[in-house]
Amino acid sequence: MFYIGSMFRYDRPQAGRYREFHQFGLEVLGASSPLADAEVIAMACEIFHKLGLKDLDLHINSIGDKNCRPAYRQKLIDFFMPKVDQLCDDCKERLLKNPLRILDCKEEGCKAASVGAPVITDYLCEDCNTKFEAVKKYLTALGIDYTVDPKLVRGLDYYTNTAFEIQYPPLGAQSAVCGGGRYDGLVEEMGGPSIPGIGFAIGLERLLLALEMQNLIPAPQSAHKVYIASLGQDAVIEGIKIQHLLRSEGVIAEMDLQDKSLKGQMKQAGKSKADFAIIIGSNELEEKAATVKNMNNGEQKQVPFDNVAEYILSALKNN
């Protein structure tokens, strides 16, 4: 399944980390094979590939499972305990509750304290190791480059085995444009049956930032604009008919809603950067033909009311 929509951050908002943000996510439920892990990672990579993003790094890790992680966890506690004074306040709290999270703390003190810390991949049980080797083999077969990153952890107990991130380093400290992993314990923890799952999420604001940095955001198509200046109710009626026809063809067609004089309306036509102005005054009503003024070169032409929309559309097409 996939989803796309608004998410709300509980943590304090920061630059580029908004209270409300947008996320695209994909989840595979019910598959425990490492093949599902490789498929999900490959799909994440393919999405970025299709968007044209370059210079992304895929980081992968295995964080074990409930058989092997407790021993590793204890190793980490033993490692950090003598250095507890170097850790930030958050990590001091994490030390006994969630020591894995210390490894991905961005504070300088914690980063320094983490140097030489035991790595999970050295403590994986046979089953976890076999799965991790399989994921790596499948990725290699698919021609997907990756870096094994033992510091990539998901610090919650329901996460198991594969963890991965796709990073765009120029984004700086918050360089991950996609994060994912396996969460075989989550459904059960939430009160459901024991169902394995793996998925990822892409933060759309950060993705847009990366796309912008690589000039991959297409320029919006500029719509054509027409201003209809009219004086008196009879003229307005001819005007709104033309406006309606033009709008139904995707042309931005503006009319005065503030009872401006004809002169004031023409001024507004210039200000609004209209391609054409359509003028309907008393002369035009008599002739049953509007004055169509090309605002770019000043050329004017009388066009019968019934033909104005058609005339403008063909003139815009040839522009």
Identify which of residues 22 and 111 has a Cβ nearer to Zn ion in the complex: 111
Q: How far is the CB of 140 from Zn ion (least distance, A)?
A: 22
Integer angstrom CA distances of residue 248 from 67, 224, 244:
65, 13, 6
The answer to whether residue 34 forms part of the interface with Zn ion (CB under 5 A) is no
Which residues touch 81 (CB under 8 Å, ≥6 apart)? 95
Give the CA-trace dihedral at 144, 147, 151, 154, to 10 degrees.
Answer: 0
The answer to whether residue 44 forms part of the interface with Zn ion (CB under 5 A) is no
The answer to whether residue 95 forms part of the interface with Zn ion (CB under 5 A) is no
Q: How far is the CB of 32 from Zn ion (least distance, A)?
A: 13
End-to-end CA, the chain: 46
The answer to whether residue 187 forms part of the interface with Zn ion (CB under 5 A) is no
The answer to whether residue 184 forms part of the interface with Zn ion (CB under 5 A) is no
Identify which of residues 96 and 223 has a Cβ nearer to Zn ion in the complex: 96
The answer to whether residue 64 forms part of the interface with Zn ion (CB under 5 A) is yes
Q: How far is the CB of 127 from Zn ion (least distance, A)?
A: 6
Identify which of residues 7 and 134 has a Cβ nearer to Zn ion in the complex: 134
The answer to whether residue 76 forms part of the interface with Zn ion (CB under 5 A) is no
Q: Tokens standing for 44?
A: 């994440």
Q: Is the dihedral of CA 295, 296, 302, 307 positive or negative?
A: negative
Alpha helices in the chain (DSSP H): 34-51, 69-80, 89-97, 108-114, 126-141, 186-189, 204-213, 233-248, 262-271, 282-287, 308-317
The answer to whether residue 269 forms part of the interface with Zn ion (CB under 5 A) is no
Cα angle 199, 32, 67; round to 5: 105
Calpha distance 35→56 (Å, rounded): 22
Calpha distance 90→79 (Å, rounded): 17
Q: Using CB under 5 A, which residues numbered 108 to 167 contact Zn ion?
A: 110, 125, 128
User: Looking at 103-111, 256-264, 280-288, 295-303, which segment touches Zn ion (CB under 5 A)?
Assistant: 103-111
Identify which of residues 67 and 300 has a Cβ nearer to Zn ion in the complex: 67
Q: How many residues form the binding site for Zn ion (CB under 5 A)?
A: 11
User: Looking at 106-114, 214-222, 225-233, 238-246, which segment touches Zn ion (CB under 5 A)?
Assistant: 106-114
Q: Which residues are at the interface with Zn ion (CB under 5 A)?
A: 64-65, 67-68, 88, 91, 105, 107, 110, 125, 128
